[in-house]
Structure 1
Protein backbone atom coordinates (compact mmCIF):
# COMPACT_ATOMS: atom_id res chain seq x y z
CA UNK A 1 0.00 0.00 0.00
CA UNK A 2 2.73 2.41 0.97
CA UNK A 3 4.73 1.52 -2.10
CA UNK A 4 1.83 2.15 -4.48
CA UNK A 5 1.07 5.44 -2.72
CA UNK A 6 4.70 6.49 -3.05
CA UNK A 7 4.85 5.51 -6.74
CA UNK A 8 1.64 7.37 -7.57
CA UNK A 9 2.82 10.45 -5.63
CA UNK A 10 6.11 10.50 -7.55
CA UNK A 11 4.25 9.98 -10.84
CA UNK A 12 1.91 12.93 -10.28
CA UNK A 13 4.73 15.15 -9.03
CA UNK A 14 6.70 14.29 -12.16
CA UNK A 15 3.73 15.18 -14.37
CA UNK A 16 3.32 18.46 -12.52
CA UNK A 17 6.99 19.29 -13.11
CA UNK A 18 6.70 18.48 -16.84
CA UNK A 19 3.60 20.63 -17.17
CA UNK A 20 5.53 23.80 -16.29
CA UNK A 21 6.30 26.06 -19.20
CA UNK A 22 8.72 28.91 -19.66
CA UNK A 23 7.08 32.12 -18.54
CA UNK A 24 6.71 35.33 -20.47
CA UNK A 25 6.09 38.64 -18.76
CA UNK A 26 5.01 41.77 -20.55
CA UNK A 27 5.46 44.91 -18.46
CA UNK A 28 3.43 47.93 -19.46
CA UNK A 29 5.07 51.01 -17.95
CA UNK A 30 5.37 54.68 -18.66
CA UNK A 31 8.37 55.55 -20.89
CA UNK A 32 9.41 58.24 -18.42
CA UNK A 33 10.37 55.54 -15.90
CA UNK A 34 13.04 54.26 -18.26
CA UNK A 35 14.30 57.81 -18.82
CA UNK A 36 14.54 58.35 -15.06
CA UNK A 37 16.44 55.10 -14.61
CA UNK A 38 18.88 56.06 -17.38
CA UNK A 39 19.41 59.46 -15.76
CA UNK A 40 19.96 57.83 -12.35
CA UNK A 41 22.55 55.44 -13.79
CA UNK A 42 24.34 58.26 -15.63
CA UNK A 43 24.52 60.51 -12.57
CA UNK A 44 25.82 57.76 -10.32
CA UNK A 45 28.46 56.67 -12.83
CA UNK A 46 29.75 60.20 -13.22
CA UNK A 47 29.62 61.20 -9.57
CA UNK A 48 32.73 63.24 -8.93
CA UNK A 49 32.52 63.60 -5.15
CA UNK A 50 32.16 61.40 -2.10
CA UNK A 51 31.12 62.04 1.48
CA UNK A 52 34.22 62.51 3.57
CA UNK A 53 36.18 64.84 5.80
CA UNK A 54 38.42 67.88 5.43
CA UNK A 55 40.33 70.12 7.81
CA UNK A 56 39.26 73.76 7.78
CA UNK A 57 42.32 75.94 8.38
CA UNK A 58 40.86 79.38 7.63
CA UNK A 59 37.54 81.19 7.55
CA UNK A 60 36.88 84.91 7.62
CA UNK A 61 34.51 87.57 6.36
CA UNK A 62 34.88 91.27 5.81
CA UNK A 63 37.43 93.46 4.11
CA UNK A 64 40.39 91.68 2.51
CA UNK A 65 39.08 88.26 3.56
CA UNK A 66 39.49 86.88 0.03
CA UNK A 67 43.13 87.94 -0.19
CA UNK A 68 43.85 86.55 3.30
CA UNK A 69 42.16 83.27 2.34
CA UNK A 70 44.21 83.06 -0.86
CA UNK A 71 47.37 83.79 1.10
CA UNK A 72 46.51 81.04 3.59
CA UNK A 73 45.80 78.63 0.72
CA UNK A 74 49.14 79.40 -0.96
CA UNK A 75 51.09 79.08 2.29
CA UNK A 76 49.51 75.70 2.98
CA UNK A 77 50.05 74.47 -0.61
CA UNK A 78 53.73 75.40 -0.45
CA UNK A 79 54.22 73.54 2.82
CA UNK A 80 52.06 70.47 1.93
CA UNK A 81 52.07 70.17 -1.89
CA UNK A 82 50.74 66.59 -1.84
CA UNK A 83 47.59 67.56 0.09
CA UNK A 84 44.74 69.21 -1.79
CA UNK A 85 43.68 72.67 -0.65
CA UNK A 86 40.35 74.27 -1.58
CA UNK A 87 39.17 77.87 -1.36
CA UNK A 88 35.42 78.38 -1.21
CA UNK A 89 32.98 81.17 -0.50
CA UNK A 90 29.77 80.55 1.37
CA UNK A 91 28.21 83.85 2.24
CA UNK A 92 29.58 85.71 4.16
CA UNK A 93 32.71 83.60 4.73
CA UNK A 94 35.73 82.72 2.65
CA UNK A 95 37.12 79.44 3.86
CA UNK A 96 40.09 77.23 3.14
CA UNK A 97 39.66 73.50 3.60
CA UNK A 98 42.40 70.97 3.05
CA UNK A 99 42.66 67.25 2.44
CA UNK A 100 40.38 64.56 1.07
CA UNK A 101 39.91 62.13 3.94
CA UNK A 102 37.50 59.18 3.81
CA UNK A 103 37.21 58.89 7.60
CA UNK A 104 37.15 61.32 10.47
CA UNK A 105 40.04 59.42 12.04
CA UNK A 106 42.28 60.23 9.07
CA UNK A 107 41.25 63.90 9.21
CA UNK A 108 41.90 64.09 12.96
CA UNK A 109 45.35 62.55 12.44
CA UNK A 110 46.21 65.20 9.86
CA UNK A 111 44.79 67.90 12.13
CA UNK A 112 47.21 66.82 14.87
CA UNK A 113 50.05 67.03 12.36
CA UNK A 114 49.28 70.65 11.39
CA UNK A 115 47.96 71.85 14.76
CA UNK A 116 51.15 73.78 15.60
CA UNK A 117 50.86 75.84 12.39
CA UNK A 118 47.06 76.17 12.41
CA UNK A 119 45.88 76.17 16.04
CA UNK A 120 42.31 77.19 15.13
CA UNK A 121 41.85 74.43 12.53
CA UNK A 122 39.10 71.84 12.92
CA UNK A 123 37.64 68.89 11.02
CA UNK A 124 34.48 69.25 8.93
CA UNK A 125 32.25 66.82 7.09
CA UNK A 126 32.37 67.71 3.39
CA UNK A 127 32.17 66.39 -0.14
CA UNK A 128 35.62 65.19 -1.16
CA UNK A 129 37.32 64.22 -4.40
CA UNK A 130 37.64 60.45 -4.78
CA UNK A 131 41.14 59.12 -4.19
CA UNK A 132 43.27 58.36 -7.23
CA UNK A 133 43.80 54.62 -7.37
CA UNK A 134 47.31 53.58 -8.27
CA UNK A 135 48.99 50.22 -8.59
CA UNK A 136 47.83 47.05 -10.24
CA UNK A 137 44.44 46.51 -11.80
CA UNK A 138 42.18 43.78 -10.38
CA UNK A 139 43.05 41.41 -13.23
CA UNK A 140 46.78 41.88 -12.61
CA UNK A 141 46.28 41.19 -8.89
CA UNK A 142 44.46 37.95 -9.68
CA UNK A 143 47.20 36.85 -12.10
CA UNK A 144 49.89 37.45 -9.46
CA UNK A 145 48.30 34.95 -7.06
Structure 2
Protein backbone atom coordinates (compact mmCIF):
# COMPACT_ATOMS: atom_id res chain seq x y z
CA UNK A 1 0.00 0.00 0.00
CA UNK A 2 1.21 3.46 -0.83
CA UNK A 3 2.50 5.26 2.30
CA UNK A 4 1.17 8.56 1.04
CA UNK A 5 -2.32 7.13 0.66
CA UNK A 6 -2.17 5.58 4.14
CA UNK A 7 -1.13 8.86 5.76
CA UNK A 8 -3.85 10.68 3.82
CA UNK A 9 -6.54 8.29 5.13
CA UNK A 10 -5.11 8.53 8.63
CA UNK A 11 -5.17 12.34 8.47
CA UNK A 12 -8.77 12.46 7.16
CA UNK A 13 -9.92 10.03 9.85
CA UNK A 14 -8.20 12.01 12.59
CA UNK A 15 -9.75 15.26 11.36
CA UNK A 16 -13.23 13.69 11.27
CA UNK A 17 -12.77 12.40 14.83
CA UNK A 18 -11.66 15.84 16.05
CA UNK A 19 -14.54 17.50 14.24
CA UNK A 20 -17.02 15.07 15.81
CA UNK A 21 -15.58 15.54 19.30
CA UNK A 22 -15.62 19.32 19.00
CA UNK A 23 -19.21 19.28 17.69
CA UNK A 24 -20.39 17.20 20.63
CA UNK A 25 -18.63 19.35 23.18
CA UNK A 26 -20.01 22.57 21.71
CA UNK A 27 -23.52 21.15 21.81
CA UNK A 28 -23.13 20.31 25.47
CA UNK A 29 -21.81 23.77 26.24
CA UNK A 30 -24.71 25.35 24.40
CA UNK A 31 -27.18 23.30 26.42
CA UNK A 32 -25.67 24.39 29.68
CA UNK A 33 -25.66 27.99 28.55
CA UNK A 34 -29.32 27.88 27.49
CA UNK A 35 -30.52 26.79 30.87
CA UNK A 36 -32.41 29.59 32.46
CA UNK A 37 -32.90 29.80 36.17
CA UNK A 38 -36.47 29.10 37.21
CA UNK A 39 -38.41 32.15 38.25
CA UNK A 40 -39.36 32.18 41.80
CA UNK A 41 -43.09 32.46 42.23
CA UNK A 42 -44.61 33.13 45.52
CA UNK A 43 -47.70 31.10 46.26
CA UNK A 44 -49.15 34.17 47.97
CA UNK A 45 -49.17 36.15 44.71
CA UNK A 46 -50.97 33.38 42.79
CA UNK A 47 -53.45 32.87 45.62
CA UNK A 48 -54.16 36.59 45.80
CA UNK A 49 -54.80 36.76 42.05
CA UNK A 50 -57.16 33.79 42.27
CA UNK A 51 -59.08 35.37 45.15
CA UNK A 52 -59.34 38.70 43.29
CA UNK A 53 -60.76 36.96 40.23
CA UNK A 54 -63.24 35.03 42.35
CA UNK A 55 -64.42 38.25 44.03
CA UNK A 56 -64.80 39.98 40.67
CA UNK A 57 -66.87 37.12 39.27
CA UNK A 58 -69.09 37.05 42.36
CA UNK A 59 -69.79 40.79 42.11
CA UNK A 60 -70.54 40.82 38.37
CA UNK A 61 -72.04 37.40 37.66
CA UNK A 62 -75.66 38.42 38.27
CA UNK A 63 -75.36 41.57 36.19
CA UNK A 64 -73.77 39.66 33.32
CA UNK A 65 -76.51 37.03 33.18
CA UNK A 66 -79.34 39.58 33.49
CA UNK A 67 -78.18 41.71 30.55
CA UNK A 68 -80.27 39.65 28.12
CA UNK A 69 -83.45 40.17 30.11
CA UNK A 70 -82.98 43.87 30.76
CA UNK A 71 -82.09 44.96 27.24
CA UNK A 72 -84.69 46.83 25.23
CA UNK A 73 -85.14 45.61 21.68
CA UNK A 74 -86.74 47.73 18.99
CA UNK A 75 -88.49 44.95 17.11
CA UNK A 76 -91.39 45.97 14.86
CA UNK A 77 -94.81 44.63 15.86
CA UNK A 78 -95.10 42.66 12.62
CA UNK A 79 -92.20 40.47 13.67
CA UNK A 80 -93.58 39.86 17.16
CA UNK A 81 -96.78 38.25 15.87
CA UNK A 82 -96.98 34.49 16.23
CA UNK A 83 -97.83 32.49 13.14
CA UNK A 84 -101.05 30.66 13.92
CA UNK A 85 -101.29 28.76 10.66
CA UNK A 86 -100.32 25.17 11.03
CA UNK A 87 -98.28 24.32 7.97
CA UNK A 88 -96.15 21.84 9.86
CA UNK A 89 -95.78 18.49 8.18
CA UNK A 90 -95.22 15.61 10.55
CA UNK A 91 -93.20 12.91 8.92
CA UNK A 92 -94.75 9.61 10.07
CA UNK A 93 -91.35 7.89 9.82
CA UNK A 94 -89.65 10.18 12.35
CA UNK A 95 -89.94 9.22 15.96
CA UNK A 96 -88.28 7.59 18.92
CA UNK A 97 -86.98 4.21 19.96
CA UNK A 98 -85.25 2.92 23.05
CA UNK A 99 -81.64 1.82 22.71
CA UNK A 100 -80.85 -1.09 25.00
CA UNK A 101 -77.43 -2.09 23.65
CA UNK A 102 -74.48 -0.84 21.67
CA UNK A 103 -71.79 -3.45 21.03
CA UNK A 104 -69.04 -4.28 18.57
CA UNK A 105 -70.13 -7.93 18.55
CA UNK A 106 -72.98 -8.94 16.22
CA UNK A 107 -73.56 -12.13 18.22
CA UNK A 108 -74.13 -10.15 21.41
CA UNK A 109 -76.57 -7.80 19.66
CA UNK A 110 -78.57 -10.69 18.19
CA UNK A 111 -78.65 -12.45 21.54
CA UNK A 112 -79.85 -9.36 23.41
CA UNK A 113 -82.50 -8.76 20.74
CA UNK A 114 -83.85 -12.30 21.15
CA UNK A 115 -83.73 -12.08 24.95
CA UNK A 116 -85.64 -8.78 24.85
CA UNK A 117 -88.40 -10.24 22.65
CA UNK A 118 -88.87 -13.15 25.06
CA UNK A 119 -88.83 -10.81 28.08
CA UNK A 120 -91.29 -8.35 26.47
CA UNK A 121 -93.72 -11.15 25.50
CA UNK A 122 -93.87 -12.45 29.07
CA UNK A 123 -93.56 -9.17 31.00
CA UNK A 124 -95.26 -6.28 29.18
CA UNK A 125 -98.99 -5.71 28.79
CA UNK A 126 -100.72 -3.39 26.35
CA UNK A 127 -97.90 -3.18 23.82
CA UNK A 128 -95.17 -5.56 22.72
CA UNK A 129 -92.35 -3.55 21.16
CA UNK A 130 -90.32 -5.01 18.33
CA UNK A 131 -86.54 -5.20 18.62
CA UNK A 132 -84.33 -3.95 15.78
CA UNK A 133 -80.63 -4.72 15.29
CA UNK A 134 -78.66 -2.49 12.96
CA UNK A 135 -75.07 -1.58 12.29
CA UNK A 136 -73.74 1.94 12.56
CA UNK A 137 -69.98 1.74 12.29
CA UNK A 138 -68.33 0.47 14.43
CA UNK A 139 -71.25 -0.64 16.63
CA UNK A 140 -74.21 -2.99 16.41
CA UNK A 141 -77.15 -1.35 18.16
CA UNK A 142 -80.37 -2.81 19.50
CA UNK A 143 -83.34 -0.42 19.47
CA UNK A 144 -86.82 -1.37 20.61
CA UNK A 145 -90.29 0.06 20.06
CA UNK A 146 -91.73 2.63 17.68
CA UNK A 147 -93.05 5.90 19.10
CA UNK A 148 -94.02 9.24 17.60
CA UNK A 149 -94.36 10.76 21.06
CA UNK A 150 -91.27 11.07 23.25
CA UNK A 151 -93.29 10.86 26.48
CA UNK A 152 -94.62 7.42 25.58
CA UNK A 153 -91.09 6.29 24.72
CA UNK A 154 -89.90 7.59 28.10
CA UNK A 155 -92.68 5.68 29.89
CA UNK A 156 -91.64 2.41 28.26
CA UNK A 157 -88.00 3.24 28.92
CA UNK A 158 -88.70 3.46 32.67
CA UNK A 159 -90.21 -0.03 32.60
CA UNK A 160 -87.39 -1.47 30.47
CA UNK A 161 -84.71 -0.04 32.77
CA UNK A 162 -85.65 -2.69 35.35
CA UNK A 163 -84.22 -5.31 32.99
CA UNK A 164 -81.83 -3.16 30.89
CA UNK A 165 -80.45 -0.35 33.11
CA UNK A 166 -78.51 1.26 30.25
CA UNK A 167 -81.68 1.85 28.18
CA UNK A 168 -82.30 5.36 26.89
CA UNK A 169 -84.59 7.07 24.37
CA UNK A 170 -83.09 7.98 20.99
CA UNK A 171 -84.44 9.79 17.95
CA UNK A 172 -84.78 7.27 15.13
CA UNK A 173 -86.58 6.38 11.94
CA UNK A 174 -89.62 4.31 12.90
CA UNK A 175 -92.17 2.00 11.32
CA UNK A 176 -95.52 3.85 11.62
CA UNK A 177 -97.50 0.57 11.45
CA UNK A 178 -95.87 -0.53 14.75
CA UNK A 179 -96.68 2.66 16.71
CA UNK A 180 -99.05 1.89 19.61
CA UNK A 181 -102.47 3.54 19.64
CA UNK A 182 -102.89 6.70 21.71
CA UNK A 183 -105.22 4.86 24.11
CA UNK A 184 -102.74 2.06 24.89
CA UNK A 185 -101.43 1.93 28.44
CA UNK A 186 -98.07 0.14 28.62
CA UNK A 187 -97.50 -1.59 31.92
CA UNK A 188 -96.11 -4.73 33.51
CA UNK A 189 -98.30 -7.85 33.33
CA UNK A 190 -100.10 -8.76 36.53
CA UNK A 191 -99.33 -12.24 37.81
CA UNK A 192 -102.43 -14.32 38.54
- Report the TM-score range of the alignment, normalised by the length of the smaller protein: 0.5 to 0.7
Choose between structure 1 and 2: higher strand proportion: 1
1:60 paired with 2:103, answer: yes
Other-structure match for 1:123: 169
**In structure 2, the residue corresponding to 1:86 is in which secondary structure?**
strand
**Is there any run of 5+ residues in structure 2 with no aligned partner, and where?**
1-90, 122-127, 180-192
Q: Is the 8 A contact 2:98 2:144 kept in 1?
A: yes
Give the number of aligned pairs.
Answer: 84
SS of equivalent residue, structure 1 residue 96: strand
Q: How does 1:67-86 map to 2 (within 5 A)?
A: 67-81=107-121, 82-86=128-132
Summarize deviations over 1:20-56 as a string: whole Å, max 9, x none. Answer: xxxxxxxxxxxxxxxxxxxxxxxxxxx9x61000000
Deviation at 1:127?
Answer: 0.6
Per the alignment, residue 136 of structure 1 pairs with none
Listed as ranges, the gaps of 5+ residues in structure 1 are: 1-46, 134-145
Q: Which of 134, 139, 142 is residue 96 of structure 1 equivalent to?
A: 142
What TM-score, normalized to structure 2?
0.41
CA drift of 1:132 comes to 5.6
TM-score by length of 1: 0.54
Which has more helix, going by share of residues?
A: 2
Pick the structure with greater CA Rg: 2
- CA-based RMSD of the aligned residues comes to 2.1
Are the aligned partners of 2:98 and 2:167 in contact in 1 as well (CA < 8 Å)? yes
After TM superposition, what 4+ stretches of structure 1 lie above 3 angstroms from structure 2?
none
- Secondary structure of the structure 2 residue equivalent to 1:112: helix
